[in-house]
Structure 1
Amino acid sequence: MIKYTGRLSFRQYMPAKPVKRGVKVWMLCDATNAYLSRFEFYLGRQNNQIEHGLGHNVVMKLTENIQRTNRFVFFDIFFTGLPLLQSLFDSGLYACGTIRINRLGFPTELKKPRDITNRGDMKLLQKGNITASVWKDKKLVHHVSTLSDPTDVRDAQRRVGRDVVPVRQPHSVWAYNRYMGGVDRHDQLRMNYSVGKCGKKWWKYLFWFLLNCAIVNSYLIYSKATTRQTRKRRFRHVDFRLELVNGLIGGYAKHKRSVGGDQLSSNRVLISNENIDHHTNVRLEGRRTTCKYHMRIHNKHRETVYGCAICNIHLCKDGCHAAYHQQENM
């Protein structure tokens, strides 16, 4: 949900959501890394087509580009229905999700079974390729799946007070708990360091949403594909955004730079303070010493405890390390 409280024909009101008023977005994200692969803005009912319902139509439309790929699709209780699972299976996709007991076609024997009283008790039924299950945790949990073997039962643990109690659960429950949550994870990353500001134009909110999604997707791809060494042991989301901002700003400054003075003040090019090839900027042993780059280029005396682990010389970590080795390689 994109928060927007102004006048808009397709603005939605959902009192149960943290963001109650705004533009609703349907999203398809990867289950393991939360990469956003497809989305659609909800504009209301289109052409008065109901068919199997809104949830069924949304899932089928978002999964058009991955049909016949034998992938697993997970969704929550709003979308789940037996016709949807069958349609996905016919399209070459396996699915799993929680389901309301009043959905059309859900077995009556599994709605409120009297023989399931203890934690870990379960009951499963199968019809064709669809497996329906009820499992007792703190309360009854109902799942339907086309990717689960009804004879496959997994081990799980639940905490009761200070004790950890081992229980058994169906494969559909195990798979749902493990792989569900890609959309929530993407929303969390997007809202942690959200870009944008308030305004009256609704289209600006959609633009900020697209920009934030692009940044999150870029971070996810970069964190998986990069082999670059950094000073930090863990390259976090905020580190990626700060580096992105510095790259976009470049050498821009609001005030004009004075002529003369610092040799790098005019026509200055932004130099990354990250490691250069195998030259790693680390904290050297011993006392702080004058930075060699400051003394050579700026003729200034600036002390630092950081330096190059390969060259064994002291260099400031805020640009001098990269600038020194780039100058040496020229």
Structure 2
Amino acid sequence: MYIPSKPAKYGLKIWALCDSKSKYAWNMEVYLGRARNTQPERNQGERVVLSLSEPLPRGHTVTCDNFFTTYNLAVQLLRRNITLVGTVRKNKLFLPREITDMKEKNILESKFLFTENVTIVSYVPKKYKLVVALSSLHHSPLVDEGDRKTTEIILHYNKTKAGVDALDQLVTNYTCKRQTKRWPVALFSNMLDISAYNAYVIWTEINPSWNTNKLYKRRLFLEELGKQMVQPNIVRRERLPRGIAAKNIVKNIQENSKSAEKASTSNISARNESTKKRQRCFFCHHTKNSNKYSAVCSTCQKFVCKEHSSLVCENCG
């Protein structure tokens, strides 16, 4: 698709639901375009938000821009115990004229409209500009006491609106994408980038003290993640690469893996050395046609048969 307002104007369009604080990608959906011989989809933004937020736990708040926000969407999300905050396009039919009319409105003036569960506010930040916002989270006409006199709804929107764009920027900074004309490859590379970032968010939440004094923690995490994903393939590789540097890297990894494998097998063999041997019983070895046994006494380490041994439980042993 071609979207001139985006930093990457050409690309695959993906609807995303992200956490506003950690930028964790909670749910995503690829836009596949309109089906052939069908009418254009009406209320597409509303349908997308309802689809992405379906697995979202109750009690959360969804922030979206004016492409998605409608009064009907706020009501439907409230049935799931999910609140909505977002800007609204001024040509929406559910908006009354008192909200969208620019006449008799001063700069930095706010006008509120309340229903049973939804609040709509219009705010004039500067001359000839009007901002309309809708919220099912706020139910009072609170206004900031600063110079801009911004409403609480718009402050909340500005604080939580950049989740998807921030994720797009973070993924672009460290990416495995390569120039390609095959869209499945481009989509798969994007999935890897987003999955790696989600893994980084989970790792830092579980281990908050990991490299706290370093500003490039994500780069270190991605390097370690890449090594762990590639190392099994390097160990199984039979032919060495032609480049000297790459050849030395592959050799070192294979030698280290072999030495570690030998150490582990030697420990296992040392533990099981006594069990692999079979000898005649210490008490009846003088008897003719005596069989060999693998059982060893745990105290004197002598081989014994069933007649000269006994079972002892964990408490008695």
TM above 0.5, yes or no, is yes
| Cα displacement string for residues 120-174 of structure 1 (whole angstroms, at most 9, x for unaligned residues) | 3211111221111111213321101111123322344xxxxxxxxx232222111
Distance 2:227 2:165 in 1: 28
TM superposition score normalised by structure 1:
0.66
Choose which of 164, 181, 203 in structure 2 pairs with 1:183: 164
Bigger CA radius of gyration:
2
Distance 1:92 1:44 in 2: 31
| Cα displacement string for residues 195-232 of structure 1 (whole angstroms, at most 9, x for unaligned residues) | 12122322101100100010111111122221455484
Choose which of 129, 132, 142 in structure 2 pairs with 1:142: 132
| Cα displacement string for residues 9-30 of structure 1 (whole angstroms, at most 9, x for unaligned residues) | xxx2223323233221000101
- Which residue in the other structure is 1:169 paired with? 150
Choose which of 189, 208, 215 in structure 1 pairs with 2:189: 208
Measured at CA, do residues 269 and 105 of structure 1 come closer, stay the same or move farther in structure 2, by a change above 3 Å? same
Question: For the Cα contact (< 8 Å) 2:204–2:210, is it kept in 1?
Answer: no
Deviation of 1:108 after TM superposition, in Å, equals: 0.8
Choose which of 61, 72, 75 in structure 2 pairs with 1:72: 61
Whether 2:23 is the aligned partner of 1:42: answer no
Distance 1:93 1:241 in 2: 34
Question: For the Cα contact (< 8 Å) 1:132–1:143, is it kept in 2?
Answer: yes
Residue 73 of structure 1 aligns to a residue whose secondary structure is strand
Distance 2:150 2:81 in 1: 27
Whether 2:93 is the aligned partner of 1:98: answer no
Q: Which runs of 4+ in 1 moved over 6 A?
A: none
Distance 2:170 2:15 in 1: 17
Residue 215 of structure 1 aligns to a residue whose secondary structure is helix
- Which residue in the other structure is 1:220 paired with? 201
- Which residue in the other structure is 2:220 paired with? 239
Distance 2:253 2:201 in 1: 35
Choose which of 119, 132, 136 in structure 1 pairs with 2:120: 132
Q: Structure 1 or 2: larger strand share? A: 1
Superposition RMSD in Å? 2.8
Residue 199 of structure 1 aligns to a residue whose secondary structure is coil
Q: Structure 1 or 2: larger helix share? A: 2
Unaligned 5+ segments in structure 2 are 235-239, 259-317
Measured at CA, do residues 266 and 77 of structure 1 come closer, stay the same or move farther in structure 2, by a change above 3 Å? closer
- Which residue in the other structure is 2:266 paired with? none
Distance 1:43 1:188 in 2: 23
Tell me the amino acid that sits aligned with residue 43 of structure 2: G
TM superposition score normalised by structure 2:
0.69
Unaligned 5+ segments in structure 1 are 1-11, 157-165, 271-330
Alignment: residue pair count: 244
Identity level (%): 29
